[in-house]
Every structure is written in structure tokens, then in C-alpha cells.
Amino acid sequence: MLNLERLRALHAVATHGSVNAAAAVLHVTTSAVSQQLAKLEDEVGQPLLERRGRGVRLTDAATLLVGHAERALSALERAEADLDAQRRSVVGQLSVAAFPTACRGLAVEALRRLNRLHPRLQVTLSEEGPVPALPRLSRGDLDLVLAKDWSNSPLAVPEGLSRVALLDDVADVALHAEHPLARRRSVTLSELAGDRWITSEHGSFCHDWLKHTLRTRGRDPVVTHTAGEYSTQLALVAAGFGAAIIPRLGRETVPPDVHMVPITPTLVRHIYAVWRTDATRRTAIQAAVEALHFAARRLVKGRAAATGRPAARRSRSTASPRSSSSGRRGAPRKRSTPAAPSSG
């Protein structure tokens, strides 16, 4: 019978591209991985890796085994999740990644709640955008990811991942106080299409979103400055160097020379919690999603109290991993709310 830990080592090499990378992910030495692979080769009676320059290439036999290993590891994760659900105890470790504004706007409050309700659960949080984080989630390097999308740029959830909506986050345009439209109750993007813009770095999701969105208004946007942090973008707006799209979630102090003006139609980005479908029944996943919903509802109620407006419908959602959408079913969920971007 094939040894599961040796199959895990082979699967890690196939997923991460090298023995060194596999060792780092598995938290063992490279020699330990090499020994596991050598023993697996003895078990199957065929070579599994071929040297190619400084790297390795999987043989046909290894490729075949990797497919079986993936299914075996997936079944093992489901079995562990089922046992975890049967115990109903929220313990163990949970690794979470979130983009910057979700880190400070949602994740910190959710972690506070988890720490209070489930002190035996050890949560590690890393600040990371969804583009690099979702592949790491699929590989098993992470357990939960906070991701985002916009109505004209929906999130593609890889197969094997599930998601649930947490919050719809409105974005405004930041204008210098002396801008002709700075004191308007709202503006359209068409009215601003000819302005100079400040956004995130070239090639980023937000940079590409802004260019695409403004081009649909008939103008090729002029991006004069780029910055990854919204605080830097706001400082550039305050200095009179252009306009910027700034979401409300996790928004930092706005400089006195900057006016935040709502956009018509409203720009909304959708915030999701994403996890591996096989881990849906893990009590840690369910507890974390519940805590994120709690943080989202609390945030929306605070905003509603400050503005005197009722809370948005999606933000009151109490959906759990059991009622989520799965990447296995293909198309993203339909939405009734319009939407828009951000560097974090």
C-alpha cells in the first residue's frame, strides 16, 4: 500500500515546483523530502523525478500518482472536517489572509471575537491581496482568504473553493478642496474622465480597473501618480496632483484639503470569505466566517448610526459556509448591486 506522507511529499513537489519549495511548505528539510520520494520510487518501482537544469520534472508515473494523491488528500481533509464537526469544538490552527483595508476594517474585529469565544483556536493573519492568496489557499498554504471584486470585474473562484458574501463596500472619489466638483453632493465618472488620476501601481487590479472603467466613459485616463497605500494617494490628492477612488472600508483619516464625494451610480466592491470546499465542515472555518459576518454587521450598523441611513441588505447576511457558493459550480454568484476598485 502506498504511503500517504510520501504521496503528500510528491504532491507538494508537483504543486510548488521544486524539492526546496516543497520542503518549505511541509516544514521539513530538503533531505527529508528527497528521502520520502526515494522510498516512494522504491514502492512503485519507477522513477518519479527527472533532473532538468537546476530543477526537476515529473515523470509520467509521477503525474499519474499526483492525481491520485490530490484526491486522497482531499478525501482526508473532508474526513478531518467531518470529525471536527462531530466534536463541535473550535480548536487547532487557522491561517487567514486579507487585503489591507479588509485586514484593518474587518479581520481585526473578527479575530477579537474569535479570541474571546474560542481561545483554543490559534489564528494567524497575514496581509495579502486575493490574486496571490487564492492560489495559496487552493494549495493548502492558507485556510481562509478575504477577497474582493467589482461588478464589472467579477471574482473568478478557482475550482475546489467556496465563498460567501460578507459586505458591500462603497467607494467615493477623493478630490482636492479647490476642484470645481469638490462640493457637489455626487458626481459621475464621466464628469471626471478628463481629470488626472492617482491609483495603485501599474499592472495591479485597481490600476487596470480604473483604466478600463474610464475608457468605457469614452476617455483614456491620465494616471499621473501611483501608490499602493490609500493614505499616500490621499496625500497626493491633498497636494493637488489628481483625483483618486477610495473605498470606505478601513479608510484612514482624510486630509482637510480633500473632499470625499459620492459617485453616481454608486461604486461598490463586494467582499467575500473564501475557503477550500473540502474544509467546509471544519468548525474553525464556520466560526471564522461567523465572526467575519459579525464584524461586517457591526461595521454597517455603525455607519448607519453615523449617517442616519438603514444598513445595506447584504451586510446583514448571516450566511454560513453551508450556504455558500462553490468554485466547483462554475459561474460566480449573481448580484443585484452595482459595483467598483482599490489597492487594498
* CA–CA distance, 233 with 275 (Å, rounded to integer): 32
Q: Are 344 and 230 in contact (CB under 8 A)?
A: yes
pLDDT recorded at residue 20: 82
Question: Within 180-274, where are the H helices?
Answer: 189-192, 205-215, 230-238
Architecture of domain 4-84: Orthogonal Bundle (1.10)
* CA–CA distance, 243 with 225 (Å, rounded to integer): 10
Per-residue pLDDT tens digits for 213-252: 888 887 888 999 999 899 999 999 999 999 999 999 989 8
- Measure the N-to-C terminal CA separation of the chain; round to a whole number of Å: 48
* CA–CA distance, 247 with 150 (Å, rounded to integer): 12
Task: List the grid coordinates of 159.
Answer: 475550482
Q: 177 vs 2, which has greater pLDDT?
A: 177
Task: List the grid coordinates of 288.
Answer: 471564522
pLDDT recorded at residue 327: 56
Task: List the grid coordinates of 11.
Answer: 504532491
Q: Are 141 and 134 in contact (CB under 8 A)?
A: no
SS3 at position 25: helix
N residues, the chain: 344
* CA–CA distance, 206 with 129 (Å, rounded to integer): 11
CB atoms near residue 255 (< 10 Å): 15
Per-residue pLDDT tens digits for 74-117: 787 777 777 766 567 898 899 999 999 999 999 999 999 999 99
Q: Which residues, 6 or more positions from 63, have their beta carbon under 8 angstroms from its beta carbon?
A: 14
Say yes or no: do domains 4-84 and 91-344 share a fold: no
SS3 at position 216: coil
* CA–CA distance, 65 with 45 (Å, rounded to integer): 13
Per-residue pLDDT tens digits for 241-296: 999 999 999 898 999 999 999 999 999 999 999 999 989 989 999 999 999 999 99
Q: Among candidates 113, 16, 103, which has minimal Cα distance to 55?
A: 16
* CA–CA distance, 124 with 119 (Å, rounded to integer): 13
Q: Is the pLDDT of residue 4 over 50?
A: yes
CATH number of 91-344: 3.40.190.290
Q: Is the pLDDT of residue 332 over 60?
A: no
Q: 217 vs 132, which has greater pLDDT?
A: 132
Within 13 A of 223's CA, how many CA atoms are on the CB side?
A: 20
* CA–CA distance, 207 with 191 (Å, rounded to integer): 19
Q: What's the Rg (C-alpha) of the chain? A: 23
Extents of the domains making up the chain: 4-84, 91-344
